[in-house]
Amino acid sequence: MSHLLVTGGAGFIGSNFVHHVLKTTDHTVTVLDSLTYAGNRESLAGLPEDRFTFVHGDITDAETVDSLVKDADAVVHYAAESHNDNSLDNPYPFVHTNLIGTYTLLEAVRRYDKRYHHISTDEVYGDLELDDPAKFTEATPYNPSSPYSSTKAGSDLLVRAWVRSFGTQATISNCSNNYGPFQHVEKFIPRQITNVIRGIRPKLYGKGENVRDWIHADDHSSAVLTILDKGEIGETYLIGADGEKNNKDVVELILTLMGQAADAYDHVSDRPGHDMRYAIDSTRLRTELGWEPQYSDFESGMKATIDWYRDNEAWWAPAKDKTEAFYASKGQ
């Protein structure tokens, strides 16, 4: 049994990881989360008290981080400012959390010689052309295009430097776009689902040709556990489930699954610098570490996600009106 410190564990992907760990292993978990708008304490409701502890704190607070890292066997770093639209509106929180926060954690794990896994994104690689047969691999050069992706790229490079300079026991994973329970309604898929539930027409950036490589959050969680268990120190692994879909097809699938006409959505002004296509080649993770996704069928994963949002309106409703007001102010 290991004691994991999970940063950002009240956020979307982090909370799914905590649920997955406590369900599938005998590990104990401490979550450190500052509960910004994107963190929700209710996402961690009902977890076993004898194996789970929640600490309200900031990853840039060196004293708090030091005390928690000292008592952990491993650190899994999910905490990040992560919404592209928000990074365009105000980049500073992204610099503060994604760079200073990662530095603070790296110094603590260096001090106590702890195992560290760093959660990152495929957006650090920039984007691909729609007709390009290539996919991102571990050797793809970094080419971030937003304050969000550039600060995540910077945090990845900090980890690599700490491994080489100080021998930090770290691995990195870059994952494609996640979907599933507990995702904030500002994000693409839950925004469309909750719009339909509320009787609002979904919104599609531009022509909706932008392609994302979707993976269910449970599959991301199982991949991270696999890397913690089997990953080679100092290495990077890409996590993906071969789920390439353009935004138009995703909106139309959501509408169809929810009993609406497939064309019952509105086009809105596109995001500045909107990346065209992400695509992950997860061959290394699968062949070297033996990982496989369970949600290989995007439609079945989407059905389960729609059901979750239908059944948990009390979880997402408090944030919905504010989110839609923000988008309306931008004509989106």
Active site residues: 122-123, 148
Please tell me the number of Cα atoms within 13 Å of 325 on its side-chain side.
5
CB-CB contact of 109 with 169 (8 Å): yes
CB-CB contact of 75 with 116 (8 Å): yes
**SS3 at position 261:** coil
Burial zone of 214 (CB within 10 Å; 0-12 exposed, 13-18 middle, 19+ buried): buried
CA 92, 90, 6, 63 dihedral sign is positive
CB-CB contact of 8 with 29 (8 Å): no
Residue 233 contacts by C-beta under 8 Å, 6 or more apart in sequence? 163, 169, 170, 171
φ/ψ of 305, rounded to 5, equals: -70, -45
Strand partners, 178: 215
**SS3 at position 214:** strand
CB-CB contact of 102 with 245 (8 Å): no
CA 290/CA 143 separation, integer angstroms: 29
φ/ψ of 244, rounded to 5, equals: -65, 125
- DSSP states along 82-140: --HHHHHH--HHHHIIIIIIHHHHHHHHHHHT-EEEEEEEGGGG----TT----B-TTP
CA 167/CA 187 separation, integer angstroms: 37
Q: Kindly state the greatest CA–CA separation across the chain.
A: 57
